[in-house]
Amino acid sequence: MTARRTFATTSRVLAQLRHDHRTIGIILVLPCVIFGLIAWMFSGTESQVVDTMGPLLIAIFPAVIMFLITSVVTLRERTSGTLERLMSLPISKADFLVGYALAFALAAAVQAVVLLAFAMGVCGMRIEGPVALMGLVSVLDAVLGSTLGLAASALARTEFQAVQLMPVFLIPQILVCGLLMPRAAMPLVLEWISRALPFTYAAQAMEKLQVGASTWSVASDIAVICAFIAGTLTAGIVTLRRRTA
Amino acid sequence: MAEAAAIRIRGLRVVRKKVLVIPGLDVDVAAGAITGLLGPSGCGKSTLMRAIVGVQIVESGSVEVLGLPAGSADLRHRVGYMTQEPSVYSDLTVRENLAHFARIYGVDQGNVDRAIDRVDLGSKADTVVSDLSGGQHSRVSLAASLVGEPDLLVLDEPTVGLDPVLRRDLWALFRSLASSGTTLLVSSHVMEEAVHCDRLLLMRDGHMLADGVRDDLLAATGAADIEAAFLALVEQEDGR
């Protein structure tokens, strides 16, 4: 693995994004639109939904979008033959996948800044903890979404299937991560399951940051997310094959 | 030099997508020459090429390329591969595509301009590939395999669908590469392409019908052209 080849992939993926204005629009605008819709929906009520649920949504939306984009984009590499060409070239599998993850991390960072600014500036979301840390959790969760997408694309044969893997990989996580109901109130088995799923830790970190917890108290959640990123990336590298049947 | 083998294949057996495509193949490809791999579509040309560049799972047998086992890490700098479907990024410009492959090879961007010139796409360098014609698209794919200036070029149907002028220019390019020492293995299902090749491999159903120089094949079969020679060999084989 070399920095030059990793960045070759990163800059190529970013160049592809640059050419694709609609995808840029989806990455940057769509989360704000959905967030705004939820804020508007509860605007006439007494509830604090924007404050309590908002941070969780900021962790989850980017991950979902990045999962979809990554799984389809890498599947396109498999079906168009570009992956076959790359596998005959002096580039390591890690260069390829880490290069992808870096490109989407950068896109996710821009997305997190825009979404946080919109949520706090326009929708009036109030948080007690450091906003930069909330941005970091959002970016890490988005990177996790894209590494999951990379792994998922190995299971799909067509873009059609890749899109359908999104509910398989993500919806269970979204259901049990604490967004819909507090994890403490769930049946014990579901609570256990939620502990094995990475979104739970992103949601947990966001909840803590929302009520003003210290940086130190979310360190373990961030470490768990990073471990999941490393794990899914490694799985992606191991399952990517230079030789295919 | 021409006698040395750039590719040496012994007992190659390949099952691709659950079909036995190559049951057992022995063949050598001469260094510094243009070898034409000719045969009908579906006869195993692409599978053989995939085995040579090291992206095909091989059931048994050995494939040695430039003295190393096919697919060795040290070969990846030295082998250029053009897949049958144009395998470049259709959402990038010609130059962005080639710059990406140049960065992977670690060659300087001067190679990019040279490769663009070689396939005569100078006027389209900053056009997004999806806006090009089919023939131009496949030339971008060819340029991507030239950008690393490899010792061995494995080209899967590089001239298919091109107009006669372009086809002539590409064969002239292949000739100039071969005279500067590059080994070329070029596949085609169009038998007339044989006239441009130094040596021919006529392939059918995963095995070689014939291997040699065009004139020798014509003399041996008494045929007027390679298409007729191919048919004669097929009849001879089926008659046995």
| Structural tokens at position A243 | 């030789």
A192-231 pLDDT, tens digit each? 999 999 999 999 999 999 998 888 899 999 999 999 999 9
Chain A, 55 to 94: residues with Cβ < 8 Å from chain B are 80-82, 84-91
pLDDT computed for residue A213 by the predictor: 83
Q: What is the mean pLDDT of residues A76-98?
A: 93
Residue A245: pLDDT band with limits 50, 70, 90: confident
Query: For residues B148 and B79, is the Cβ–Cβ distance under 8 A?
Result: no
Angle between helices A93-121 and A3-19 (to 10 degrees): 50
* A100-110: average pLDDT: 93
Mutation site for A-interface testing, chosen from B18, B52, B55 by largest number of A Cβ within 10 Å: B55
CA distance A142 to A71: 13
In this complex, which of A15, A89, A243 lies closest to B56 when CB atoms are compared?
A: A243
Q: Answer whether A243's CB lies under 8 Å from B55's CB.
A: yes
What is the distance between the alpha carbons of residues B7 and B185, in angstroms, rounded to a whole number?
10
Contact by Cβ (8 Å): A137, A217: no
Q: Nearest 5°: phi and psi at A151?
A: -65, -40
Residue A49: its pLDDT value, please?
87
**Residue B17: its chain A contacts at CB < 8 A?**
245
A5: closest chain B residue by CA: B104
Helical segments of chain B, H only: 45-53, 94-105, 110-118, 134-146, 164-179, 214-221, 226-239
What sign for the dihedral angle of Cα B8, B12, B18, B21? positive
Give residues 177 to 236 of B whose Cβ lies within 8 Å of A: none
CA distances, B212 to each of B190, B194, B216, B219 (Å): 17, 11, 7, 11
| CA A238/CA A236 separation, integer angstroms | 6
Q: B28: which residues sit within 8 A by CB, 6+ positions away?
A: B5, B7, B8, B9
CA angle A121, A125, A127 (to 5 degrees): 115
- The encoded tokens of residue A114 equal 């825009």
Whether residues A89 and B76 touch (CB distance < 8 A) is answered with yes
A20 touches chain B (CB under 8 A): yes
CB-based contact B85 A20, cutoff 8 Å: no
Chain A contacts in chain B segment 59-118 (CB below 8 A): 71, 73, 76-77, 79, 81, 83-92, 96, 100-101, 103-106
Asked if A88 and B54 come within 8 Å (Cβ–Cβ), the reply is yes
Measure in Å the smallest separation between the Cα of A234 and chain B Cα atoms: 20
User: Would you state the pLDDT for residue A194?
Assistant: 94
Higher pLDDT pick, B143 / A74: B143
If we measure between CA atoms, which residue out of B171, B165, B63 comes closest to residue A243? B63
Using an 8 Å Cβ cutoff, are A5 and A95 in contact? Answer: yes
Q: ipTM of this predicted complex?
A: 0.90
DSSP per-residue string spanning B95-163: HHHHHHHHHHHT--THHHHHHHHHTT-GGGTTSBGGGS-HHHHHHHHHHHHHTT--SEEEEESTTTT--
What pTM does this model have?
0.90
Q: Contact at 8 Å (CB) between B79 and A88?
A: yes
Digitized pLDDT (tens) for each residue of chain B, 240 residues in all: 445 799 999 999 999 989 999 999 999 999 999 999 999 999 999 999 999 999 999 999 999 999 999 999 999 999 999 999 899 999 999 999 999 999 999 999 999 999 999 999 999 999 999 999 988 999 999 999 999 999 999 999 999 888 899 899 999 999 999 999 999 999 999 999 999 999 999 999 999 999 999 999 999 999 999 999 999 999 999 986
Name the residue of chain A whose CA is nearest to B70's CA. A88
Q: B123 or A163, which is more confident?
A: B123
Question: In DSSP terms, which residues pair with B30 in a beta bridge?
Answer: B5
The reported pLDDT for the residue numbered B149 is 94
- Mean residue pLDDT of chain A comes to 92
Q: For residue B95, which residues of chain A lie inside 8 Å, CB to CB?
A: none
Distance from CA of B232 to the nearest CA of A (A): 33
The pLDDT of residue B1:
41
B55 and A90: CB-CB below 8 Å?
no
Q: Measure the CA–CA gap between A8 and B109, rounded to whole angstroms.
A: 13
Distance from CA of A233 to the nearest CA of B (A): 21
A166, amino acid identity: M
B92 with A84: Cβ contact below 8 A: no
What share of chain A in percent tops pLDDT 70? Answer: 100
Q: In this complex, is the C-beta atom of A215 within 8 Å of any C-beta atom belonging to chain B? A: no
Cβ of residue B127 closer than 8 Å to a chain A Cβ: no
Residue B165 tokens, joined? 């002028």
Cβ neighbours of B18 in A, within 8 Å: 245
pLDDT in tens, B132-191: 998 899 999 999 999 999 999 999 999 988 889 989 999 999 999 999 999 999 999 999
Terminal-to-terminal C-alpha distance of chain A: 25
Say how far apart CA A224 and CA A113 lie, in whole Å: 23
The pLDDT value given to residue B225: 93
Residue A47, pLDDT score: 81
Q: Cβ of A19 under 8 Å from any chain B Cβ?
A: yes
Query: Closest-CA residue in chain A for B148?
Result: A89
Q: Do B89 and A91 touch (CB under 8 A)?
A: no
Q: What is the pLDDT of residue B2?
A: 42
Q: DSSP string spanning A57-115?
A: HHHHHHHHHHHHHHHHHHHHHHHHSHHHHHHTSS--HHHHHHHHHHHHHHHHHHHHHHH
d(CA A143, CA A147): 6
Q: Could you give the CA distance from residue B196 to residue B75 in angstroms, rounded to a whole number? A: 27
Of the candidates B7, B42, B3, B1, the one whose C-alpha atom is nearest the C-alpha of residue B25 is B7
Please list every residue in chain B whose beta carbon sits closer than 8 Å to the beta carbon of residue A244. 55-57
pLDDT in tens, B129-140: 999 998 899 999
pLDDT at A232: 94
CA distance B91 to chain A (A): 6
pLDDT for B3: 53
- A134, A54 in Cβ contact below 8 A? no
CB contact under 8 A, A87 and B90: no
Provide the pLDDT for residue B240: 66
Check: CB of residue B38 under 8 Å from CB of residue B233: no
Helix residue ranges per DSSP H, chain A: 3-19, 21-41, 49-52, 54-80, 82-87, 93-121, 131-153, 159-176, 188-195, 198-210, 215-239
3-state SS assignment for residue B64: strand
- Measured between CA atoms, how close is A20 to chain B, in angstroms? 8
